A and B are shown apart, each in its own frame.
Chain A
Amino acid sequence: MFNLIGSAINGVKHALGGLYQVKRGLETVAMHTWREPTTEAYPDKAPELPPHFRGRLALTVNPETGENLCISCRQCERVCPDKCIEITANKSTETNKLELIDFKIDHGLCMFCGLCTEVCPTYCIINTNDFEMADYTRSSLIYDLKKLTLTQEESAYYFAAKEMPLPKPKPAKPAAPAAGAAAAKPAAEAKPTATVSPKPAPESAKAPETTADKPAKEVEKKESPSTDTPSVN
């Protein structure tokens, strides 16, 4: 008899304990109503990406002068595990230095490991915050120098955001800084939106570049459309 009463009391205790746990669960879930959704409203609102986000690869220019920072050292080409970088450079007879002719990155092969950005001695090749690269053909994922080069404003933004040291002005060319100073406005603080348009306007960045061997470059580009042609020196 006492056993029965005892077990009945135990049962009630169990039931109340269970109900209490259910109540706690319901409370917790109900209180979540007051919390902001964690959903990203992506196509409507650009996500807030950190500056070290490894997005589309791009080449910076000197934010002050606008000249391309690549020195054609080919370290990125060598370190790339996917072999998706292809640099075409030519040794100039006057200055005895390598001059960049074309820079191709196959974003269809790239796995965004960021190794190329780590080895780059001049902070030229960087990962941008852009990730909207969908396209219709594989061949259109191969970006050439024109498509890769950022504008001065974008370069300035990434130099500031990634806290990279600004490049020293080149001592060899006395004409370049003057031309650059005339063309470029003082480094724009105005921050471009986090998602940069996938095709940065290349005109301003290309303008101060060497124009001496432009015709040759055009010819070479047409001659070597595929990725695996050996680079010409």
Chain B
Amino acid sequence: MKIDGTVVRGDHFSGNIAEIRKFAVMSLSWLTVIFVAVWGVCWALGIFIPMCLANSSFDFAAILSEVCKALTPIAAVLVFIPINAMFMVLMERRALALFTRRNGPNRVGPDGALQTAADAVKLLLKEDITPTGADALMFTLAPIIFFAPSIFGALPLLAAVTNNHKLFQIVDLPTGIFYVLAASSVPVVGIVMGGWASNNKYSLMGGLRSAAQAISYEIPLVLSLVTICLLAGTLDVVSIAYQQSGGLLNWNILGGGALIGLNKAIAALVSSSGAPFAEVMNAYYPYGWLSFVGAAVLCMCTVILFGVYLIGACAEINRIPFDLPEAESELVSGYNTEYSGIKFAIFFLAEFTNLFIVSTIAVVMFLGSGDCPLPTWLNPLSYPAVYEPLAKALSPVLSVLINDLHLINPPTFWAALWVIFKTYSLIFFAILVRGTLPRFRIDQLMDFGWKRLIPITLVIFVLVAFARGVINFHV
């Protein structure tokens, strides 16, 4: 809008509904394709084949069905990663186009929906070049080492995001989050290897920067998750996910369980059948005002921790504003300058998969995993009077799918739906940050990591350790 009130072309708000609709349709159809494909593979491998084998007189039938079941999580991840990376690249490009008032890719397929699929085909068909003077073995190994952790590192999260579905219990570790963090610090080795093996100064600089950055930012990242584990009292991601069920007030981002008592007390007040309000409050907050202060401190601390986690994760996966390892203006393209064809595709794939994994960790650790944000006492679907008629009306259609074929597992379905929604919202936020913030300078990066984030997380860790003493958790 100009000062005199005339509207410049395209400068009025809500003039972009068509593009937003295209973005939404593209995202929803891609998500449907991804998760139908992934669940189809899981179901075929983990449920359908064992079901067929159950009645056979074949000798190895039992062993074969067990093998199939055991391979399901791996198959799920292997199917998921490439399709998801294609979608995320497309989503990023379309979303950035929205933010910068462009159209984005709109040529291949309907509204450009197949652009990244075409890109993938192009990358796979390209010549695979190893530069002269490069260490061929290391050069080839680097993308593999970079990519491998995103396959095996995220496995423990599968059980947490599917509400502990029986197919994925096999990958549920008692020290799940520890394993995930350990695995997620491996890729930096791949980056340094790639940078060194390329025989290129820019690649080497990129690799070294990446190592420095990963070391600096892993500390606040891990400290923030450790603090959450301290509050939860466990390292098992499934337990952490379960502790947060029951609505927004139970989530770790709001006090890490400090508000569970409040939630229960309000639930008692609303239902007016259980224990009285004051009694529940006393059970959870035994020290009066001191407990309330503790709860307030915990809420504040966990919100800050969530922010620290997001910042640390952004730096860990080399995303803007922390993309110094591939700063185009200084380092051409950083550690993957010399890579082309399929090796470059693997680097690319791993980067976007890492973004997805850190978002999933944030969802599991902070945002209640597959939990509906509405508190149970506010959610109409949690009252039998509402959901029983609904269930009865739908049962003739769904019972075949649920009980006979096991194609739909309602608890897993809803949990997965919420996880998908939350994770992709976080990814969208990461894209928004990418569209907004300029890149850090290397000294600012180190300053911010060592002199700001690490002290903050340490102070919060101590605060939380004391504050949790005045509240009863998970009784």
Provide the residues of chain A in CB contact with B435, threshold 8 Å.
29
- A36 engages B101 (CB within 8 Å): yes
- 0 or 1 for each of A20-41: is its CB under 8 Å from B? (1 = yes): 0010011011111111111101
Of all chain A residues, which has the CB nearest B14? Answer: A34
- B436 engages A37 (CB within 8 Å): no
- B437 engages A30 (CB within 8 Å): no
- A32 engages B433 (CB within 8 Å): no
- B437 engages A35 (CB within 8 Å): no
- Tell me, in angstroms, the Cα distance from A104 to B20 when the chains sit together: 50
- A33 engages B437 (CB within 8 Å): no
- A35 engages B20 (CB within 8 Å): no
Partner of A26, one of B9, B100, B436: B436
- B13 engages A29 (CB within 8 Å): no
Provide the residues of chain A in CB contact with B19, threshold 8 Å.
36-37
- 0 or 1 for each of B75-110: is its CB under 8 Å from A? (1 = yes): 000000000000000000000011111110000000
- A26 engages B101 (CB within 8 Å): no
Report the contact-size class of chain A (Cβ under 8 Å from the partner). Answer: 10 to 19
- A37 engages B14 (CB within 8 Å): no
A32 and B436 in contact (CB under 8 A), knowing A37-B10, A37-B16, A38-B10?
no
Q: Which residues of chain B (1-46) have a CB below 8 Å from chain A? A: 9-16, 19-20
Partner of B20, one of A22, A29, A33: A33
With both chains docked as a complex, state the minimum distance between the C-beta of A43 and any C-beta of chain B, in angstroms: 11
- A29 engages B99 (CB within 8 Å): yes
- A35 engages B436 (CB within 8 Å): no
- B10 engages A36 (CB within 8 Å): yes
- B437 engages A34 (CB within 8 Å): no
- B103 engages A41 (CB within 8 Å): yes
With both chains docked as a complex, state the minimum distance between the C-beta of A75 and any C-beta of chain B, in angstroms: 38
Q: Which residues of chain B (212-262) have a CB below 8 Å from chain A? A: none
A39 and B103 in contact (CB under 8 A), knowing A26-B432, A29-B435, A32-B98?
yes
Residue with the greatest number of chain A CB neighbours at <10 A, chosen from B432, B435, B436: B436
Provide the residues of chain B in CB contact with A33, threshold 8 Å.
16, 20, 98-99
- Tell me, in angstroms, the Cα distance from A36 to B12 when the chains sit together: 8
Q: Which residues of chain B (269-287) have a CB below 8 Å from chain A? A: none
Which residues of A approach B to under 8 Å, CB–CB?
15, 22, 25-26, 28-39, 41
- A35 engages B16 (CB within 8 Å): yes
- B436 engages A34 (CB within 8 Å): no
16 CB < 8 A contacts A-B: A15-B452, A26-B433, A29-B432, A29-B435, A29-B436, A32-B98, A32-B99, A35-B15, A35-B101, A36-B10, A36-B15, A36-B16, A36-B19, A37-B101, A37-B102, A38-B101
- B15 engages A34 (CB within 8 Å): yes
With both chains docked as a complex, state the minimum distance between the C-beta of B426 and any C-beta of chain A, in angstroms: 14
Of all chain B residues, which has the CB nearest A48? Answer: B9
Query: Which 5 A-B residue pairings sit nearest by Cβ, starting from the closest?
Result: A36-B10, A36-B15, A29-B436, A34-B13, A25-B436
- 0 or 1 for each of B432-443: is its CB under 8 Å from A? (1 = yes): 110111000000
- Tell me, in angstroms, the Cα distance from A218 to B100 when the chains sit together: 57
- Tell me, in angstroms, the Cα distance from A233 to B9 when the chains sit together: 53
- 0 or 1 for each of B419-448: is its CB under 8 Å from A? (1 = yes): 000000000000011011100000000000
Provide the residues of chain A in CB contact with B432, threshold 8 Å.
26, 29-30
With both chains docked as a complex, state the minimum distance between the C-beta of B344 and any C-beta of chain A, in angstroms: 28
Of all chain A residues, which has the CB nearest B13? Answer: A34
Of all chain A residues, which has the CB nearest B95? Answer: A33
A32 and B100 in contact (CB under 8 A), knowing A26-B432, A37-B16?
yes
- Tell me, in angstroms, the Cα distance from A31 to B99 when the chains sit together: 8
- Tell me, in angstroms, the Cα distance from A15 to B15 when the chains sit together: 36
Known: A34-B15, A36-B9, A36-B12; 6 extra A-B contacts, CB below 8 A, are: A30-B99, A35-B15, A37-B10, A37-B16, A37-B102, A39-B101
Provide the residues of chain B in CB contact with A38, threshold 8 Å.
10, 101-102
Of all chain A residues, which has the CB nearest B20? Answer: A33
Provide the residues of chain B in CB contact with A41, threshold 8 Å.
103
Provide the residues of chain A in CB contact with B20, threshold 8 Å.
33-34
Of all chain B residues, which has the CB nearest A40? Answer: B103
- Tell me, in angstroms, the Cα distance from A38 to B101 when the chains sit together: 6
With both chains docked as a complex, state the minimum distance between the C-beta of A228 and any C-beta of chain B, in angstroms: 45
Residue with the greatest number of chain B CB neighbours at <10 A, chosen from A15, A25, A29: A29
Provide the residues of chain A in CB contact with B102, threshold 8 Å.
37-39
- B99 engages A37 (CB within 8 Å): no
With both chains docked as a complex, state the minimum distance between the C-beta of B454 and any C-beta of chain A, in angstroms: 14
With both chains docked as a complex, state the minimum distance between the C-beta of B100 and any C-beta of chain A, in angstroms: 7
- Tell me, in angstroms, the Cα distance from A29 to B102 when the chains sit together: 13
Provide the residues of chain B in CB contact with A35, threshold 8 Å.
10-13, 15-16, 101
Provide the residues of chain B in CB contact with A28, threshold 8 Å.
436
Partner of B13, one of A15, A25, A31: A31
- Tell me, in angstroms, the Cα distance from A173 to B233 when the chains sit together: 105
Provide the residues of chain A in CB contact with B13, threshold 8 Å.
31, 34-35
With both chains docked as a complex, state the minimum distance between the C-beta of A103 and any C-beta of chain B, in angstroms: 38
